[in-house]
Amino acid sequence: MPLRVLIAPDKFKGTLTARAAAEAIARGWHQARPKDRLELVPISDGGDGFGQVMSDLMGAVPRTIQTCDAAHRPCKARWWWEPRSRTALIETAEVIGLAKLPANRFHPFELDTYGLGKVVRAVAQCGARRCLVGLGGSATNDGGFGLARALGWEFLNDARKPIERWTELPTATRTTSPPAPFHFPELIAAVDVQNLLLGPRGATRIYGPQKGIRPADFRLAERCLARLVAMVQKATRRDLAHLPGAGAAGGLGFGFAAFLDGSLEPGFQLVAREAALEKRLSRADLVITAEGAIDRSTFMGKGAGCVARLCQEQGVPCMGLAGTIGPGITRNRLFAELKGLTELTGDRQAKREPAKWLQALAKQVAARWCEGGWGLALRRNEGTVSRMNLEDHLGDIIRKARGMSKVSPEAAARAAGATVEDLEKLEDSGRTDKQLNYVALGQAIGLDGAKLEAIAKGWLPTPKDTNIWCEFRCLTSEGNGMAVNNYVIWDEVSREAALFDTGWYAQPVEKLIAENQLQLRHIFITHTHEDHIAALADVRKAFPKARLHSSSKNAPVDQRNRPNDFIHLGSLRITHRDTPGHAEDGTTYIIGTWPEDAPHVAIVGDAIFAGSIGRGNQSWDLARQKVREQILTLPPETLICPGHGPLTTVGEEKAHNPFF
């Protein structure tokens, strides 16, 4: 049957534009499946290629301007103009991009954003009403210091002499703003990451090394940026360093917010809105996205990861193609399939002729595609129904069970009727074209073989219509290549809310609380692994009156869960059950007395996933025992809300989870 295929790649940095990548994929796919209907929508996350992608979508025309690069060498740079709406498009990488400089010639301490500021100034003088700036791909780490100077700001030392290098900022004692500041009715800085400006996950420490900043330089760079923040805060009475995205492009996110009153928006979100991408996705049977490398950063706001996330929300299978697939990155709940050019050819050849090899890869995967999509049925979601791939694929489950049962690969392979090599490939990728004896394999490694075989055939929990619990939201955030779920519930009358784990970032929680006019009263922690509490400090800062609940022995006594505790949240009632095994402080929270007799909700952390369980870091036996006693004894219709993967129910897990 012909498919409707949406091809939505990002650029292959340094080798292919997003448009060239889309066309190469389309040529290859058409060769193998000529009857499929292909739609090409090149995308960007705000980095290199942002200007061209957005100009194609908006019908903007290119213009050139004389300016200087990050090293203050004279250059010409492109920007784009859409006259009807008087919208200007600027791409940072076109002006002060790292790719514009000779390799290893300049240290970031010698570079700044002055040339970009000259472009912004010229665009403002053209009468632009709207300015969209893609921040990715910069060579700089100056927090927008050069940008500010080009716009007329001055930073003065004790001798009242202007400072011209950002590394001299610690000597600055005062600042003066321009008498007639440049202003746009609307300025949006498109960021490709959500990092803050300062700190261990700030611009310098996370992205500085890519630009040449050494660990020995961190202290000075942080000191300079901290001084810039202090001076801006004194001048504007605004603390902008904690904005998500302030650390983008070496602190340019902060610079645009501070010196141009710009708003920060994820670049992909901006492009997706302009392209009406969600509407296009809703019509597709399959989506193909791509970028130069699919690695951990893909899941931290990069274009291909964002496309896959949208596909997951709409229940459309997404295939990821790349130049290379990073270590440890395999097919997962976001990508139905992952393939790299280096599976066909060497890295050097792939970079020399990327379009040729991308076309060949697309042809190969198209030839293998069928409606099952390597065992995944083409899926659709309607309304609020949510569906996603399992957190643990078939191979993950088998590897976990072998570790739990202390069964060697050789013994497991013999039971399955496979070679050790076949088993290892299955454990790595989650798929195999071999006919295995799953019943015997399950018996050998301590699993229910029939349930294991059902997962091999594609079992998934049924989609959940969360409108049944109208005061319930699942939030999913991504960091360090890992997606984690956290949850918010509230009482419809009192508007009192509770948060269960924080995920990676505080911003989605803050936004949900504000949009629904809620009062966050409680923060419940299922366990203290990093991905579940990464944003805890920020959430507590935003909601200082919220009471914290945890079973960690390191928590203050007044914050620890106690036996027989229960919390009332308006009409809702929250209790807890200890579920250690994966983590010593593992806790499951049960929410009951929902309006209209909706089933109980169990927020379980990593104690159990759909079709699997969390790794027995503390004890496998204890982990399984506690799940049996504390979770699977709940009513069958109880909604299970895990820390990773899709929602499920007690009844489904008793019927289909091979660990029980």
Q: Among 486, 574, 488, which Cα is nearest to 535's? A: 486
At a CB cut-off of 8 Å and minimum separation 6, what does 558 contact?
Answer: none
Q: How confident is the model at residue 388 (pLDDT cuts 50, 70, 90)?
A: low
Cβ atoms within 10 Å of 293's Cβ, excluding its own:
18
- Convert the pLDDT of each residue in 130-162 to its tens digit: 999 999 889 999 999 999 999 999 999 999 999
Instruction: Name the percent of the chain lying above pLDDT 90.
Output: 71
Contact 56/23 with Cβ under 8 angstroms?
no
> For 89, phi and psi rounded to 5 degrees?
-115, 125
First to last CA, the chain: 39
Q: What is the pLDDT of residue 372?
A: 41
- Convert the pLDDT of each residue in 185-236 to its tens digit: 999 999 988 789 999 889 999 899 999 999 999 999 999 999 999 999 998 8
Q: Among 406, 380, 376, which Cα is nearest to 393's? A: 376
Give me the residues paired with residue 89 across strands. 80, 132
Q: Among 386, 390, 340, which Cα is nearest to 360's? A: 340
- Convert the pLDDT of each residue in 469-484 to its tens digit: 878 999 998 887 788 9
pTM greater than the 0.75 cutoff: no
3-state secondary structure of 500: strand
Q: Is the dihedral of CA 602, 606, 612, 618 positive or negative?
A: negative
Q: What is the pLDDT of residue 374?
A: 43
Tokens describing residue 595: 């309006």
Cβ atoms within 10 Å of 482's Cβ, excluding its own:
15
Tokens describing residue 600: 């109980």
- pLDDT exceeds cutoff 50 at 385: no
Q: What is the pLDDT of residue 617?
A: 85
Contact 139/111 with Cβ under 8 angstroms?
yes
Q: How far apart are the C-alpha atoms of 539 and 541, rounded to whole Å?
A: 5
Number of H helices, E strands in the chain: 23, 28
- Read off the amino acid at residue 507: Q
State how far Cα 79 lies from the chain centre: 28
Q: What is the pLDDT of residue 380?
A: 38
Q: Which of 188-212 are b and which e, b meaning 16 or more Cβ less than 10 Å from the residue's Cβ?
A: bbbbbbbbbbbbebbbbbbbbeebb
Q: How far apart are the C-alpha atoms of 40 and 57, rounded to whole Å?
A: 12
Contact 482/299 with Cβ under 8 angstroms?
yes
Q: 293: number of CA atoms within 13 Å, CB side?
A: 11
Please give the average per-residue pLDDT across 554-582, as a whole number: 91
- Convert the pLDDT of each residue in 444-454 to its tens digit: 999 999 999 99
Residue appearing with tokens 């058409």: 30
Q: What is the pLDDT of residue 576?
A: 95
Q: What is the pLDDT of residue 2?
A: 82
Q: Is the dihedral of CA 240, 143, 134, 267 positive or negative?
A: negative
Q: How far apart are the C-alpha atoms of 652 and 610, rounded to whole Å?
A: 8
Q: How far apart are the C-alpha atoms of 601 and 641, rounded to whole Å?
A: 7
State how far Cα 185 lies from the chain centre: 30
Q: What is the pLDDT of residue 368?
A: 79
Three-class secondary structure assignment of 359-374: HHHHHHHHHHCCCCCC
Residue appearing with tokens 């990002």: 10
- Convert the pLDDT of each residue in 402-441 to its tens digit: 989 999 999 999 999 999 999 999 998 888 888 899 999 9
Please give the average per-residue pLDDT across 543-566, as a whole number: 91
Longest dimension (CA), the chain: 82
- Low-confidence winner among 150-154, 295-299, 312-316 (lowest mean pLDDT): 295-299
- pLDDT exceeds cutoff 50 at 373: no
SS3 content of the chain, % helix, strand, coil (to 5): 40, 20, 40
Q: Among 265, 262, 217, which Cα is nearest to 240's? A: 262
**What radius of gyration do the chain's Cα atoms show?**
26
Q: What is the pLDDT of residue 382?
A: 34
Q: What is the pLDDT of residue 377?
A: 40
Q: Among 290, 315, 450, which Cα is nearest to 389's? A: 315
At a CB cut-off of 8 Å and minimum separation 6, what does 293 contact?
Answer: 322, 323, 324, 325, 326
State how far Cα 49 lies from the chain centre: 20
In this structure, are strands 464-465 and 385-386 parallel, antiparallel, or unpaired? antiparallel
Highest-pLDDT range among 47-51, 355-359, 382-386? 355-359
- Read off the amino acid at residue 21: A
Kindly list the structural domains of the chain, giving each domain's residue range(s) and its CATH number in brackets, ordered by start.
4-42+285-380 (3.40.50.10350), 50-269 (3.90.1510.10), 394-456 (1.10.260.40), 469-656 (3.60.15.10)
Please give the average per-residue pLDDT across 571-575, as a whole number: 91
Tokens describing residue 517: 């006019």
Q: How far apart are the C-alpha atoms of 371 and 87, rounded to whole Å?
A: 43
State how far Cα 169 lies from the chain centre: 33
Q: What is the pLDDT of residue 296?
A: 73
